[in-house]
């Protein structure tokens, strides 16, 4: 909240947090919603959420003028709340809130945008959904996705199993984008005998911004959850920077690849499962787990929280691994260089870890391609030391998988087998030559 000088000024003008204000300073005019300050905020700035959705801080110095444009109110939703009856012809889809920014309600305390969290609010915000499914809403937690934890993964997993086992045709998990890939991977390993779709969805732009991707993503996600026969954990997000289609990514092969673009999520080392244009599904492949009319999801929700993900750098000393062991970590995933290499200076640390029964898994910081430790002598030496090759798993997926594997067994041999087995599409049996990145700028050859 505002303090000191700022508070005094606001009080004198009857301006409250949430009001639309105009601030003039040094010849520039800022118009937007007056945001509150966090506890760490200093009292000498106003923070305003601009129409662009971004917040600016304006220092309260000489010559700053502030005036109220209109009083604060909840953001306008597309339609007034409707009374909608359950239609037995439509699938039942549960939308699960975790604190992501998929739809529509501005939290004035933080400036973040939270899901509209009654079914009515959701229908109002995205009226298309009423034609697609009977929506039920469940709030599981309410954290920014950067504050997601392995404990919360399990809470989400249990809630998903409850919904599906109680008859929901599919579940949509609204999740912040920052760590969506991690949660998708964790759920993929955790949910056993999955017989219906579980779809993670989020939004790169607040839904109070004109360029928001929230509605298209949510419609796509509900379509996949309600209509598709994909009984897997997947991520449905924009497939391009246009508001034209979403891609359906397998939960163990997807990564947030751009800090701000709407098409930030990309399938790495494989092709996506398919796409959604409006509510129209098109699948690219046949090799996925199919929806079954009946079933019972089991949750294998034990994760060893102490697993390190170490990115290998030139000259990295063994003391890094010694530190990690000393801190009590029970597993280590290395992001090696190239085909899965580390400097020789790390060999002693790796030996020590393995001798203590701590599994060391190799992935590549290249991200694309496959670890192959038989090509060069460094790789062969590492295999000899007991390093477990991670195939073409993404480093963060290998990390979540190792936490889950160590939740099942501490036996080094068994962990090694689990890590090298393809459990949820995380390791492709053969690399496709046509999956890599292509620069998007025009090369005129």
Which residues carry out catalysis?
101, 177-178, 256
Please give the backbone phi and psi of residue 276, each rounded to the nearest 5 degrees, phi first.
-130, 125
Give the contacts of 150 (CB within 8 A, at least 6 positions apart).
186, 303, 305, 403
**Residues paired with residue 22 on neighbouring β-strands, in sequence order:** 31, 67
Strands 104-106 and 170-174: unpaired
Per CB under 8 A, the list member of 50, 51, 55, 59 interacting with its own copies is 55
Cα-Cα-Cα-Cα torsion 95, 97, 102, 106, nearest 10 degrees, comes to 130
Site for its own copies in 292-311 (CB under 8 A): 305, 308-311
Q: If binding is defined by CB under 8 A, does position 442 make contact with its own copies? A: yes
Residue 168 or 308: which CB sits closer to its own copies?
308
Q: If binding is defined by CB under 8 A, does position 338 make contact with its own copies? A: yes
- Rounded to the nearest whole angstrom, what is the least distance from the CB of residue 124 to its own copies in the complex? 25
Instruction: Select from 67-75, 126-134, 289-297, 380-388 the region that touches its own copies (CB under 8 A).
Output: 380-388
Per CB under 8 A, the list member of 175, 209, 330, 370 interacting with its own copies is 370
Per CB under 8 A, the list member of 27, 384, 429, 430 interacting with its own copies is 384
Quick check: 261 and 117 in contact, CB under 8 A? Answer: no
What x-and-dash track marks residues 240-279 binding its own copies by CB under 8 A?
A: -x--xx----------xxxxxx-xx-xx---xx--x-x--
Positive or negative, the Cα torsion across 385, 388, 393, 395? negative
Q: Collapse the DSSP code of 176 into the 3-class scheme (helix H, G, I; strand E, B; otherwise coil) and give the result.
A: coil
Q: Collapse the DSSP code of 291 into the 3-class scheme (helix H, G, I; strand E, B; otherwise coil) and give the result.
A: coil
The end-to-end CA distance of the chain, in Å, is 57
Site for its own copies in 112-141 (CB under 8 A): 112
For helices 150-165 and 180-190, the axis angle rounded to 10 degrees is 60
Instruction: Select from 122-130, 372-380, 409-417, 422-430 the region that touches its own copies (CB under 8 A).
Output: 372-380
Quick check: 171 and 262 in contact, CB under 8 A? Answer: no
Q: If binding is defined by CB under 8 A, does position 106 make contact with its own copies? A: no
Give the integer Cα–Cα distance in Å for 207 and 148.
Answer: 21
Q: If binding is defined by CB under 8 A, does position 163 make contact with its own copies? A: no
Give the contacts of 21 (CB within 8 A, at least 6 positions apart).
15, 31, 32, 33, 34, 46, 48, 66, 67, 68, 69
Q: If binding is defined by CB under 8 A, does position 287 make contact with its own copies? A: no
Site for its own copies in 394-433 (CB under 8 A): 395-396, 399, 432-433
Q: If binding is defined by CB under 8 A, does position 61 make contact with its own copies? A: no
**Residues paired with residue 170 on neighbouring β-strands, in sequence order:** 93
Q: If binding is defined by CB under 8 A, does position 342 make contact with its own copies? A: yes
- Rounded to the nearest whole angstrom, what is the least distance from the CB of residue 251 to its own copies in the complex? 15
Residue 59 or 374: which CB sits closer to its own copies?
374
Instruction: Select from 17-25, 118-126, 128-136, 341-349 the region that touches its own copies (CB under 8 A).
Output: 341-349
Residue 134 or 177: which CB sits closer to its own copies?
177
Site for its own copies in 31-50 (CB under 8 A): 38, 40-41
Q: If binding is defined by CB under 8 A, does position 369 make contact with its own copies? A: yes
- Rounded to the nearest whole angstrom, what is the least distance from the CB of residue 38 to its own copies in the complex? 5
DSSP state of 445: -
Site size for its own copies (CB under 8 A): 101
Q: If binding is defined by CB under 8 A, does position 212 make contact with its own copies? A: no
From residue 67, alpha-carbon distances to 10, 32, 37, 63 in Å are: 9, 11, 18, 13
Q: If binding is defined by CB under 8 A, does position 437 make contact with its own copies? A: yes
Q: ∠ at Cα 371 (368, 376), nearest 5°?
A: 125
Q: If binding is defined by CB under 8 A, does position 439 make contact with its own copies? A: yes
- Rounded to the nearest whole angstrom, what is the least distance from the CB of residue 130 to its own copies in the complex? 27
Per CB under 8 A, the list member of 122, 335, 405, 427 interacting with its own copies is 335
Per CB under 8 A, the list member of 327, 413, 429, 430 interacting with its own copies is 327
DSSP state of 290: B
Give the contacts of 343 (CB within 8 A, at least 6 positions apart).
312, 314, 315, 316
């Amino acid at each position: 909240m505002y303090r000191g000088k700022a508070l005094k000024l606001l009080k004198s003008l009857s301006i409250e947090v949430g009001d639309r204000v105009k601030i003039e300073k040094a010849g520039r005019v800022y118009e937007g919603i007056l945001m509150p300050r966090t506890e760490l905020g200093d009292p000498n700035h106003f923070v305003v959420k601009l129409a662009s959705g971004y917040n600016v801080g304006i220092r309260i110095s000489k010559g700053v003028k502030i005036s109220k444009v209109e009083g604060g109110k909840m953001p306008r939703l597309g339609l007034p709340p409707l009374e909608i009856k359950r239609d037995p012809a439509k699938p039942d889809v549960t939308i699960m809130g975790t604190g992501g920014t998929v739809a529509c309600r501005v939290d004035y305390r933080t400036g973040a945008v939270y899901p509209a969290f009654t079914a009515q609010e959701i229908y109002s915000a995205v009226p298309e959904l009423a034609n697609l499914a009977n929506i039920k809403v469940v709030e599981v937690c309410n954290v920014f996705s950067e504050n997601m934890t392995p404990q919360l993964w399990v809470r989400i997993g249990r809630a998903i199993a409850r919904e599906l086992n109680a008859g929901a045709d599919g579940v949509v998990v609204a999740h912040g984008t920052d760590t969506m890939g991690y949660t998708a991977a964790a759920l993929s390993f955790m949910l056993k005998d999955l017989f219906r779709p579980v779809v993670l969805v989020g939004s790169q732009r607040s839904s109070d911004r004109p360029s928001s991707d929230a509605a298209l993503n949510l419609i796509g996600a509900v379509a996949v959850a309600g209509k598709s026969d994909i009984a897997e954990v997947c991520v449905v997000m924009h497939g391009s920077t246009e508001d034209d289609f979403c891609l359906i990514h397998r939960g163990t092969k997807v990564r947030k690849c751009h800090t701000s673009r709407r098409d930030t999520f990309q399938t790495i080392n494989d092709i996506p499962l398919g796409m959604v244009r409006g509510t129209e599904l098109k699948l690219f492949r046949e090799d996925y787990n199919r929806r079954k009319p009946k079933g019972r999801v089991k949750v294998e929700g034990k994760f060893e929280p102490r697993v390190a993900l170490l990115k290998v750098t030139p000259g990295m000393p063994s003391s890094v691994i010694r530190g990690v062991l000393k801190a009590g970590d029970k597993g280590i995933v290395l992001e090696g260089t190239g085909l899965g290499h580390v400097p020789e200076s790390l060999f002693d640390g790796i030996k020590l870890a393995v001798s203590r029964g701590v599994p060391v898994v190799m992935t590549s910081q290249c991200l694309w391609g496959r670890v192959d430790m038989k090509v060069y002598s460094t790789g062969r030496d590492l295999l000899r030391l007991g390093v477990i090759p991670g195939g073409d798993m993404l480093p963060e997926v290998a990390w979540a998988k190792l936490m889950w594997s160590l939740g099942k067994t501490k036996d080094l041999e068994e962990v090694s087998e689990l890590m090298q087995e393809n459990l949820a599409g995380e390791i492709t049996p053969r690399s496709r030559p046509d999956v890599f990145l292509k620069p998007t700028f025009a090369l005129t050859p």
